[in-house]
Structure 1
Amino acid sequence: MQRLLPLLIISCFSCFTFASEDGTAILKKIDELYRSDSSIATMKMTIVTPNWQRTMEMESWTKGMEETFFRVLSPKKDRGVSTLKKDTEMWNYFPKINKVIKVPPSMMMGSWMGSDFTNDDLVKDSSLVDDYSVTVKEEGEQLHLSLLPKEQTVTVWAKITIIVQSSDLLPLEQNYFNEKGEKVRTMTFSKVTDFGGKVIPAVMTMTPLNKTGHKTVIEYSNAKFNVDIDESTFTMRNLKKRF
């Protein structure tokens, strides 16, 4: 028995390492799901509250995890509002006042355009695979991922859980927990769609659990991946461009 014990320990350690590596690969896939090496997409964002509802149409450009550009196309009163993210810096442009406002790191968890998505959600400033340690548990036809922030990670989330389908590793649900262990918001994924050979959930619904009757839905209407994008897209000049 004593001779078997070291072998069992080595065997269990190997299983844990494999599971950890597998979880990291899944997180990388989720990080890049809506971006790939580059992407151009059109979408609509619908913000729902108990008292009002509004929908914005937007276009986005991304290159890797470092560069992101969003521009609001409609409604007319918001047309031209733009967001630029390069590396760890982010700016918003508001054409009505012709002003660029830099978003400080302390505001990355703030609401984007009054929605239930944060600035960080929109531009993917943080990376799941870089900022969190992950464990994976198989439950039926699903994989349940539990993410804890790494020691150096600065975040308001004490834990994130993600449920993915085992068959294609597409996400079904993502939950966010505060430092008290309370689940404070949930994002669900639906309407799996093939955009030019890349299959993604076309609809993401973010629901804050501390605000009854509130939710924000993003639905992709078109998307192209791994396309050539001129570097001038991710510039201050383009951010302030009127159209």
Structure 2
Amino acid sequence: MYSISLKLLLVILVLLLQSQPSAREIVQRADDKVRGKSNQGEMVMRIVRPTWQREIGLKSWQKGKDLGMILITSPARDKGTAFLKRKREVWNWQPSIDRTIKLPPSMMLQSWMGSDFTNDDLVKESSMVEDYEHTLAGDTVIDGRPSYKIMMTPKEEAAVVWGKVINYIDKKDYLQLLVRFYDEDGELVNTMKASDIRMLGGRLLPARLEVTPADNPRNRTIIEYRQLAFDVPLEDGFFSIQNLKRIK
């Protein structure tokens, strides 16, 4: 009887291990859900400071992990400013000076449009899946949702800006609920919190992302999605420097 019970226990353990996705698979599923094969969105970004606020309208297009574009639609002084990502290269079109600037890797950690997001955050220059090693670091509950805690450390050859990322992903729907970004010295830099979970483009996703800098918690930047569509037809040629200047 002891032998049979032991064998049964081993079988149960094997089945449990097989049903448990790896840390990389969890991050991959969360990433796939928010990207799709392609996507197109409209959103508002609010930069909140103790004495003032600023609101910026945005449109975005993305195809796979290598192609992306963001257009500023408001306010008037920034309207037409656009950002293009092609693989590891990022360009910025500034209509006010009629100039396209290629952003060097050293600028990826700098503020994007004066917000608490970095250039890397908005154009997704680094890949959460490919550029990091992933380790399950336990379970927790975020806003009532049982979640995985995943430690992400950059691969030796990866050109990334973060020294470490801790990612909290919902177990049921693979929603990225909370992300903490650390520098190379292990100091917390930014915390990104997701909320307002609802249907967007036929998928259950957070419609609100809020970033708070660790060194100034009175500051925050909020992105709220107004519209999001997935698997829209986008040709690779759409993501060109020429189109960057005329996209509307």
TM tier, shorter chain? 0.7 to 0.9
Moved over 4 A (4+): 17-21
Post-superposition shift, 1:20?
A: 9.3
For each residue in 1:148-182, what CA deviation from the matched residue of structure 2 results, as whole angstroms up to 9, or x when unmatched? 11221233422211112222121210001223322
* 1:43 and 2:48 correspond: no
| Residue identity opposite 1:175 in structure 2 | R
State the partner residue of 1:82.
82
Map residues 95-110 of structure 1 onto 2, 5 A cutoff. 95-110=95-110
| Residue identity opposite 1:169 in structure 2 | Y
State the partner residue of 2:127.
127
TM-score with structure 2 setting the length: 0.86
Q: Structure 1: how far apart are the matches of 2:18 and 2:157?
A: 24
Map residues 18-97 of structure 1 onto 2, 5 A cutoff. 22-97=22-97
Is the CA contact 2:195–2:206 (under 8 Å) kept in the aligned structure 1? yes
For each residue in 1:23-77, what CA deviation from the matched residue of structure 2 results, as whole angstroms up to 9, or x when unmatched? 1111112333432110010000111122321101111110000000111111111
Q: Structure 1: how far apart are the matches of 2:64 and 2:175?
A: 19
* 1:139 and 2:140 correspond: yes
TM-score with structure 1 setting the length: 0.87
Is the CA contact 1:69–1:233 (under 8 Å) kept in the aligned structure 2? no
Q: Structure 1 residues 19, 176: closer, same or farther in 2, change over 3 A? A: farther
Is the CA contact 1:20–1:135 (under 8 Å) kept in the aligned structure 2? no
Q: Structure 1 residues 232, 156: closer, same or farther in 2, change over 3 A? A: closer
Is the CA contact 1:147–1:160 (under 8 Å) kept in the aligned structure 2? yes
State the partner residue of 1:240.
245
Q: Structure 1 residues 51, 162: closer, same or farther in 2, change over 3 A? A: same
For each residue in 1:195-240, what CA deviation from the matched residue of structure 2 results, as whole angstroms up to 9, or x when unmatched? 2321211111011011242111111100000110133421111111
Q: Structure 1: how far apart are the matches of 2:159 and 2:240?
A: 27
Map residues 68-217 of structure 1 onto 2, 5 A cutoff. 68-136=68-136, 137-139=138-140, 141-217=146-222
State the partner residue of 1:8.
none
Match of 2:232 among 207, 227, 230: 227
Is the CA contact 2:201–2:227 (under 8 Å) kept in the aligned structure 1? no
Percent of aligned pairs with the same amino acid: 37
Q: CA RMSD in A?
A: 2.4
Q: Structure 1 residues 56, 30: closer, same or farther in 2, change over 3 A? A: same
Q: Structure 1: how far apart are the matches of 2:128 and 2:247?
A: 34
Secondary structure of the structure 2 residue equivalent to 1:228: coil
For each residue in 1:111-133, what CA deviation from the matched residue of structure 2 results, as whole angstroms up to 9, or x when unmatched? 11111111111111111111111
Q: Structure 1 residues 156, 62: closer, same or farther in 2, change over 3 A? A: closer
Q: Tell me, which stretches of 5 or more residues in structure 2 are unaligned?
A: 1-10
Secondary structure of the structure 2 residue equivalent to 1:40: strand
Post-superposition shift, 1:22?
A: 1.7
Q: Tell me, which stretches of 5 or more residues in structure 1 are unaligned?
A: 1-10
